[in-house]
Amino acid sequence: MTAPPSLFAALTAVLRRDLIAAGRRRGELLRPLFFFVITLSLFPLAANPDPNYLQSIAPAVIWVAALLATLLGLDRVFRGDFADGALQQLLLSPHPPSLLALAKILAHWLLCGAPLALLAPLPALMLHLPPHALPALVGGLLLGTALMSLLGAAGAALTLGARGGGMLLALLVLPLYIPALIFGAFAARAAALGLPADGPLLWLGAMLLLALALAPAATAAGLRASSQ
């Protein structure tokens, strides 16, 4: 009998499979990034063009745009596997489903959250955010989008296969995103004013660690419930 692959090999295979599958759907892959950039590009046209005003609201606007862009791809994290039966194989794997789900969450963050964070400086400068505030903005977005991927995946697992799942998913996870939105925007705002941004970033890191401990298990439980 062939021995099952090691846990590391299984996690790598799940991650690689999701990355390759996303590369074949480039339109869906780029949709959150286009939404993020276009929203922030159009915002100054509809708001007060005064640089001081734009600078004051830039952190909040960028974070709201990132939050909404992250939501665009959440319902697809497990939908393909649910449709083709791969989800059943994942749940029947000898390895913990929570860790395999974590690999899929990591793939989502690498494809959506991390690019959004690295792309943020360009629209931030368009909104007149000072350059010295960019590290706090990008760092906060890296932490915050990872947190949103973890929480969103748990919500996506619970609503998998449900009628109107996309709307239900948004209603479920948006309240959970609010703390990340508050602390992330506050960190960038504090940095823009020349104040320390360590406190809000540490809170984001603490919430991320808590989500890392709890969200994969909740995601696996949601997948089991949705697959029955």
What digits encode the pLDDT tens for the residues 165-195?
A: 677 888 888 999 999 999 999 999 999 998 9
Number of domains within the chain: 1
Which pLDDT belongs to residue 160?
Answer: 80
| Residue 124 placed within a domain | yes
| Residue 1 placed within a domain | no
Question: Going by C-beta distance under 8 Å and a sequence separation of 6 or more, which residues neighbour residue 179?
Answer: 203, 207
Report how far residue 99's alpha carbon sits from residue 154's, in angstroms, rounded to the nearest whole number.
13
Domain encompassing residue 222: 7-227
The DSSP annotation for 83-127 comes to HHTHHHHHHHSSS-HHHHHHHHHHHHIIIIIHHHHHHTHHHHHHT
- pLDDT digit string, tens, across residues 70-97: 988 787 778 777 777 777 777 777 888 8
| Residue 193 placed within a domain | yes
**Among 36-40, 135-139, 199-203, which stretch is predicted with the lowest mean pLDDT?**
36-40
| Residue 87 placed within a domain | yes
| Residue 2 placed within a domain | no
